[in-house]
Chain A
């Protein structure tokens, strides 16, 4: 019940295209859903996060769509750029208590110029 499943494992998108990464969770107690971006040799860094009281959150070219009934959320990267090439992780946690993150398996995104 603690799993977060992420797909696809890898994704290649042309510059200017839309990148879409999907995640599904099982634990209905989760109430915080962040996306982390990781470049090679670096630690993950928070990209954008959403709480289940809204269905969408947008920050610049990055949008999270959240479907509470389906227990799914996704990251959309509009106008994808070569600098967006990185590994992306979805995660989930309960903000009550220790806020332990459960991570998806990661998606390696490559944006071709």
Chain B
């Protein structure tokens, strides 16, 4: 199993450009999440999904969009990039139910907006 994979690893965007961060998991997890990590701030939840076709906002959703057409894929879309979106983005997935809890993280995408 590859676990959670993310592409690209690094990206530099100009202000106003758009891009999609890809996330795929091969563990058949229903739950998937997008976080951003800023220095000294921990990880903040952007969007999450509890299954294909179901998505919801997290703590910091502004400027982002997501879709979940399959169990495996959960792409994150930035429509009009702003310097405030410079961050490291992590995708994660987990099992459902009370036996779950552990989230498995991808290796991250480091995004710079200039």
* Complexed CA–CA distance, A32 and B43 (Å): 17
Q: Report whether B103 and A46 are in contact in the complex, using a CB–CB cutoff of 8 Å.
A: yes
Within 8 A of B (CB), among A17-39: 32, 34, 36
Answer yes or no: A96 CB below 8 A from chain B CBs.
yes
Q: Report whether B101 and A43 are in contact in the complex, using a CB–CB cutoff of 8 Å.
A: no
- Interface hit among A52-60, A74-82, A102-110: A102-110
Number of B residues contacting the other chain (C-beta, 8 Å)?
Answer: 29
Chain A interface residue bracket vs B: 20 to 34
Task: Write out the residue numbers on chain B whose beta carbons fall within 8 Å of the beta carbon of A99.
Answer: 31, 94, 100-101, 103
Q: Report whether A95 and B90 are in contact in the complex, using a CB–CB cutoff of 8 Å.
A: no
Answer yes or no: B16 CB below 8 A from chain A CBs.
no
Question: Chain A's interface: helix, strand, loop or mixed, by majority?
Answer: loop
Q: Which residues of A contact B (CB under 8 A)?
A: 2, 4, 6, 9, 32, 34, 36, 41-46, 49, 89, 93, 95-96, 98-106
Q: Which residues of B contact A (CB under 8 A)?
A: 4, 31, 33, 35, 40-45, 48, 50, 56, 58-59, 90, 92, 94, 97-98, 100-108
- 18 A–B pairs (Cβ distance < 8 Å), ordered by A: A6-B42, A43-B92, A43-B105, A43-B107, A43-B108, A44-B43, A44-B105, A49-B101, A95-B97, A95-B101, A98-B31, A98-B50, A98-B56, A99-B103, A100-B45, A100-B48, A101-B43, A103-B42
8 tightest A-B contacts by CB? A43-B105, A103-B42, A103-B43, A105-B42, A32-B101, A46-B102, A95-B98, A44-B105
